[in-house]
Structure 1
Amino acid sequence: MSQELEPKKGRRFAQSLDWNLLRMFYNIAQSGGLSEAARQINKGQPSISMALRRLEEYTNVSLCKRGPGGFELTESGQLIADVSQEIFESISKIPNTLNQASEEIRGRVRLQMITNLVNDSLNRPLEEFHRHHPNVELFISIAAWDVIQRNVIRNEVEVGIGPASQRLPDLSYEFLFSETYKPYCGKSHVLYGQKISSPADLATYRHILTGADEPLELIKFRQKWGLGIQIAGLSEHLEEARRMTELGIGVCFLPTAFAANAVREGTLYELMDDLNAPVSNIFLITNPKALEHPVHKILIEHFRKEISL
């Protein structure tokens, strides 16, 4: 091997390393592949592949195997993935460490939830928490339910709010409230103003689906009655799914609380009074093993107070 190709070592390695490449590889390893990493961090797969290639060139080793058998880390890749995890877990503790140094309760609490939750059991704890601790920043982000769970277990967010179709053993799930889903249509739709006698009556109509945010209970309900085979539209954002429904593009199952204002205004019509409509349970999701800053613990206690009512 020539002198130019010899890998850098020690401090020279650390000083010359593009740390963004290490962070990108950490995301790839945690996600189990390039395409899933691209989806989770909202970047194009070509940029993910380029970052991996640059890190392999810098370390002068192959970090993963890609082929018909799927994605797999090499031995060297696993070593770097383990070191990367330790680095980023240590970095994630910096805000907590800094906050603990302050006598006054300040800092930031990171919540992540599925889109457009409408319920007082979510609003009251946040309102109470802010009233008692106005100097704390509430940082709220939106993600699909599976991403929320992964981010809570990685300590990238302190609190998750969402369904739990598949539970991770290291997380805590506490029931917060339920969402009922019913089918709706817009004014220009042929069904506007009519009530169906059975969900099967909707099987011949085109539906608007909500992608990754669709709860498992609703998926099973649609499959049972043969709904959504004919697709009129798709959006993982409920606001856009509602927009398409109001425009008469198709029938869409929406949470009743989320659709309530549009129903009152007449832009949406509820097609089914069936009490057996699908119900999705929403949970407070936390990591019992996470390093707790007092401000995080206080917010979680506000939610638990709401749960106990």
Structure 2
Amino acid sequence: MTDLVSQYDPDRVARELDWNLLRTFVVLAESHSITDAANQLGLRQPSVSAALKKLEDRIGRKLLDRSPGRYALTHAGRLLYHEAVEINGSVLRLSTLLRDLTDEVQGNIKITAASHVVCPVLDDALARFHSNHPNASFSIEVHSSADAIAEVAAKRASFAVCLVKDHNPKLEYRRLYREYFGLFCGPNHPFFGRKDLTVADLAGQSSVSFETDRLQDVLRPVTVMRAQAELGQKITGVSSHLEEVRRMIIAGLGIGPLPLHVAARDVRDRQLWQVPPYDGLPAIDVHVVWNPATVKNRAEELLLQEILTAIETTPMEVRTYR
């Protein structure tokens, strides 16, 4: 019994654990095989297998089930992965913070965003920040909203600008703006240019949409709108990127949903045509999401505060795009 208690003693585990083993384990957990992980790490497969065994010996638990035809985390592996992702993110950010340490505001700000976020309030905040701190740099990566939030939760991103389905209690959220979705067709569609259409005319038409356009997902109101127009049965294309949904609509693959303010220019240029319904359109909120447990550099802190101040001082009706 004494040996068992000693094996799982927190002080002993913390004292003997090699942080590089945790980094290797994170890659293993996110890979499809030992070979895949070895390729990502630039190591030989036996070295990665040995690192996994060493970590399992240190922890005293089997972490990865590699039985024939199976490659999956055990329960202990899933628990460790959840903690290791945060630790790995903190270590990576620590090196960045030390590198960027100076009296001048500099350093890189990594933003993850859903595709085609169109928000003048956000653009103005970025412009003001850059004017005041020209030596700070930005990297903006486009992800699905779920992946954008995962990057923030793992401390791999400064903050995210995206749609939100469920609130993670470890993260902070502020509504940035609200957009309304309508249905559109492209120039080659027989409905293009018609002003006499009703919702009933859309029944049975092919449609394209977003991967999150499902009753249980973040675009549920859009799903309901498509269902009411009886467009749900023939989906000819889906994408997580707004630009690709737009492309499919313009190409004539089907009728599809887009934010009204994003589609406005294409409507003026005769690339898109709005079809019914025209009233009671679904509203979708876009949020700024950040992780309060992430140690931010000065540039990240100041930009986030700039954006939050803009949100607080701009009335919601100004941040609502119809």
1:131–1:115 distance in 2 versus 1, CA, 3 Å: same
Contact (CA 8 Å) 1:181, 1:279: kept in 2 or not?
yes
Separation in structure 1 between the aligned mates of residue 165 and residue 78 of structure 2, nearest angstrom = 31
1:274 and 2:287 matched:
no
Partner of residue 217 from structure 1, selected from 205, 217, 221: 221
Separation in structure 1 between the aligned mates of residue 151 and residue 114 of structure 2, nearest angstrom = 13
Deviations 1:168-193 (A, max 9, x none): 11111111101211111111111112
Contact (CA 8 Å) 1:208, 1:228: kept in 2 or not?
no
2:296 corresponds in structure 1 to 292
Contact (CA 8 Å) 2:24, 2:51: kept in 1 or not?
no
Separation in structure 2 between the aligned mates of residue 77 and residue 168 of structure 1, nearest angstrom = 18
Partner of residue 245 from structure 1, selected from 243, 249, 260: 249
Structure-to-structure mapping, 1:196-235, within 5 angstroms: 199=199, 201-212=201-212, 215-235=219-239
2:49 corresponds in structure 1 to 56
Look up the equivalent residue of 2:207 and give its one-letter code: H
Contact (CA 8 Å) 2:236, 2:254: kept in 1 or not?
yes
1:90 corresponds in structure 2 to 91
Contact (CA 8 Å) 1:182, 1:270: kept in 2 or not?
yes
TM-score for the superposition, normalised by structure 2 = 0.75
Q: What SS is found at the alignment partner of 1:139? A: strand
RMSD: 3.5
Structure-to-structure mapping, 1:1-309, within 5 angstroms: 21-27=24-30, 34=32, 47=36, 55-60=48-53, 63-65=63-65, 71-73=72-74, 75=76, 82=83, 85-99=86-100, 101-195=101-195, 199=199, 201-212=201-212, 215-272=219-276, 274-308=278-312, 309=314
Separation in structure 2 between the aligned mates of residue 84 and residue 116 of structure 1, nearest angstrom = 28
Q: What SS is found at the alignment partner of 1:141? A: strand
Contact (CA 8 Å) 2:34, 2:49: kept in 1 or not?
no
Separation in structure 2 between the aligned mates of residue 146 and residue 210 of structure 1, nearest angstrom = 13
Q: What SS is found at the alignment partner of 2:191? A: coil
Look up the equivalent residue of 1:254 and give its one-letter code: L
Aligned residues between the structures: 281
Look up the equivalent residue of 1:47 and give its one-letter code: D
1:118–1:97 distance in 2 versus 1, CA, 3 Å: same
1:76: how far off?
A: 6.8
Deviations 1:63-117 (A, max 9, x none): 3237999944264785587557534421222112322x21111111111110011
1:250–1:98 distance in 2 versus 1, CA, 3 Å: same
Deviations 1:146-174 (A, max 9, x none): 11111112111111101111111111111
Contact (CA 8 Å) 1:196, 1:271: kept in 2 or not?
no
Separation in structure 2 between the aligned mates of residue 167 and residue 81 of structure 1, nearest angstrom = 17
Look up the equivalent residue of 2:28 and give its one-letter code: F
Contact (CA 8 Å) 1:145, 1:162: kept in 2 or not?
yes
1:9 corresponds in structure 2 to none
2:318 corresponds in structure 1 to none
Contact (CA 8 Å) 2:185, 2:272: kept in 1 or not?
yes
1:258: how far off?
A: 1.7
1:228: how far off?
A: 2.7
Deviations 1:27-48 (A, max 9, x none): 35xxxxx5xxxxxxxxx99835
Q: What SS is found at the alignment partner of 1:193? A: coil
1:246: how far off?
A: 1.3
Give % identity: 21
Look up the equivalent residue of 1:156 and give its one-letter code: R
1:143: how far off?
A: 0.6
Separation in structure 1 between the aligned mates of residue 78 and residue 310 of structure 2, nearest angstrom = 45
Separation in structure 1 between the aligned mates of residue 244 and residue 306 of structure 2, nearest angstrom = 32
1:226: how far off?
A: 3.7
Contact (CA 8 Å) 2:199, 2:229: kept in 1 or not?
yes
TM-score for the superposition, normalised by structure 1 = 0.78
